[in-house]
Amino acid sequence: MYIIDLDGKKIEVTDLDLAIMQADDFRHYRVTKPSEYQRYLYKYWEDFYQKLLRIKDA
């Protein structure tokens, strides 16, 4: 299965449960003074995680 990320790239997901676990971990990483890029990463991983959950629920 595939996910289209925020950059429009097609990402192949081969292990849905592992991908959900990893995306969940990544979306919780935070720094004290986030840069613009780090704020983008927060948004990216939250979006990716939600898309994975939608696939699992389907």
Per-residue pLDDT reduced to its tens digit, 9-51: 999 999 999 999 999 999 999 999 999 999 999 999 999 999 9
Q: How many structural domains compose the chain?
A: 1
Largest CA distance in the chain: 37
**Residue range(s) defining the domain that contains residue 15:** 2-57
C-alpha distance from residue 15 to each of 12, 33, 52 (Å): 9, 33, 11
Q: What is the pTM of this model?
A: 0.91
Per-residue pLDDT at 50: 98
